[in-house]
Amino acid sequence: MDDKITRPSAADDGPDRPLRRTGDEPPESLLDADAAAATGTVSGFAGPDQHVGSPSYAFAGFWIRALATLLDGLLLTGLTLLVFNPLRRALGVEAALFSLVDGLEMLVDFLYMILLTWWSGQTLGKVITGIRVISARQPRGNLTIGQVLLREIVGKLLSGLPLGLGYMWAGWHPKKQAWHDLIAKTYVVRERR
């Protein structure tokens, strides 16, 4: 059975061509980054207790990621309109610069992004658009909580600071990584359907 990633030959060049496996040796690494960048795909390996296959993921570009972010924003705005604004009115804190309701709303938004990304690699916006965050270190493994916190807090803060340049970077990067992906060593990929 084929178990080793090899680089595509010149005849195999093309953006839709997945990496292929040959030989009987175990893989030296979970990801051949040079070949992944050349083909626009990420291939991972099954662990000893997983089904052996040849998963291949296409990197998710800027616009599909922007749509997922927009959908998450609409969902959280709906939650604000339906839950938090009526709660502010009921407690009489509508005009307050900052209230406990605002803190609760920020906590819910924070937990939504952190916990869903950690649990499944997907927020609801990502589920709808068919994309997922995976670890660049271990494409078939789960994200660590450290990766998620680094990506969602530190990385996204830095991505947004210079006029959103870090977010737009995904449109130019060969592996479609924004700054927060590079910092946390993650990829955003399209789900196989």
Does pLDDT of 87 surpass 50?
A: yes
Task: Answer yes or no: do 72 and 87 share one domain.
Answer: yes
Domain shared by 90 and 37, yes or no: no
Give the pLDDT score at 72.
98
Q: Number of structural domains, the chain?
A: 2
Same-domain pairing of 53 and 133: no
Whether residues 82 and 102 fall in one domain: yes
In this predicted structure, the answer to whether residue 49 has a pLDDT above a threshold of 70 is no
Pair (172, 120) in one structural domain = yes
User: What's the confidence (pLDDT) of residue 40?
Assistant: 56
Query: Do both 70 and 122 map to the same domain?
Result: yes
Residues 28 and 77 in one domain: no
Q: Is pLDDT larger for residue 6 or for residue 159?
A: 159
Q: Residue 133's domain spans which residues? A: 62-190
**pLDDT tens-place string over residues 2-31:** 433 343 444 444 444 444 333 333 334 444
Residues whose CB falls within 8 Å of the CB of residue 48, separated by 6 or more in sequence, listed in order: none
Do 54 and 67 lie in one domain? The reply is no
Same domain (yes/no): 52, 84 = no
Among 23, 55, 2, 61, smallest CA distance to 181 is for 61
Q: Do 36 and 71 belong to one domain?
A: no
Do 53 and 70 share a structural domain? no
Query: 178 and 166 share a domain?
Result: yes
